[in-house]
Amino acid sequence: MKAITLGAILAVTVSAAAYAQTPAPTPAQTPSWTVPPESARCPSKWGATDERGSGNLMKPETVLNAAKLIKSGEVIELAHVLGPSMPFFGTRRFDMHIKRTFMNAGSNERGSNEEMVVSEIGQVGTQFDGFGHQTHRNSHYNCFKTEEIAQRGLFTKLGIHNTGAFITRGVLIDVAAFKGVEMLGDNYEVTVEDLEGALKKQNITLQQGDAMIVHTGWGKIYGKENARYVKSCPGLGVKAAQWLIDKNPILLGADNWPVEVSPNPDPQLSLPVHQLALVVNGVHLLENLKLDELASKQVYEFAFIMQPLKIQGGTGSTVSPVAVR
């Protein structure tokens, strides 16, 4: 029988002690939200071939109801200026090159100036997300498949050119004011209770077809603290977004870059409200709104007017919406 040395005994003892101190693997946690299966979300409530989603709520009576809200004729612009000082998410860019004066033939010596823009024109500045923009795996709104609708130059389905104009009742939900601050914290998650509290304070009730717009105050640092602006932001949580979606909005908007809170409190999730709104429910998102004037004047109900660019097969559009009261 082979003798066991003291050194061998010590080695085994030390090895066993080290193993005992090694923490056991943490079991994977269940994500706080998952994308519903296609069988639960397709076809959409507007039919298997529908490409307009919440845009179907645009009807003549929607326009007429919005027009009734115009009392003074005051127009408040809700878009930031497009330019090099904008905050950009990721590798997006906006480069404008001026084509200086050239003289046309004719005795009147008519000069002309133009510009050429190189940009993700649907995804910079105050921007409107279409249904080609987001997927769950390869599945878009109404279960259109990316490989079936995406070509080199455009999407053959779900293009932003299908969206049409928006003239509807707009509602500002001033969560920052409800919380008693000018700007919510860098990653504050807006809750259902926040939305209900703000609406109660404002004495406003949501209606089907509203443009439902959330004021977080985050727009105050747009163009001023751009690195902070895109690093994180306060915004809607999944439950709050679902609560609004259940009210049948024509769109959801906010004064931040994704409408929702970022990063999500659940580290396993990447911008889930984008999928919840655009992919699952066919509700458009409107990002990077300029809401300071609306909030300071306490304009909570107004006629909302917006026309996306007719970019054939585009995933979104830079827009310049206005509020009229």
> Where do the structural domains in the chain lie, given as residue ranges?
38-81+125-324
For residue 21, pLDDT beyond 80 = no
Distance CA 237, CA 271 (A): 10
For residue 19, pLDDT beyond 70 = no
Distance CA 127, CA 40 (A): 29
pLDDT > 90: percent of the chain: 88
For residue 265, pLDDT beyond 60 = yes
Q: Which of 290, 292, 302 is nearest to 72 (CA)?
A: 302
pLDDT digit string (tens) for 128-172?
A: 999 999 999 999 999 999 999 999 999 999 999 999 999 999 999
Distance CA 226, CA 88 (A): 8
Distance CA 234, CA 219 (A): 11
pLDDT digit string (tens) for 79-104?
A: 999 998 999 988 999 999 999 988 99
pLDDT digit string (tens) for 38-88?
A: 999 999 999 999 999 999 999 999 999 999 999 999 999 999 999 989 999
pLDDT of 4: 46
Q: Which residues pair with 44 in a beta bridge?
A: 47
Pick the CATH number of 38-81+125-324 from 3.40.1080.10, 1.20.210.10, 3.20.10.10, 3.50.30.50: 3.50.30.50
pTM for the structure as a whole: 0.89
Contacts of residue 310, defined as CB under 8 A and 6 or more positions apart, other chains included, come to 160, 161
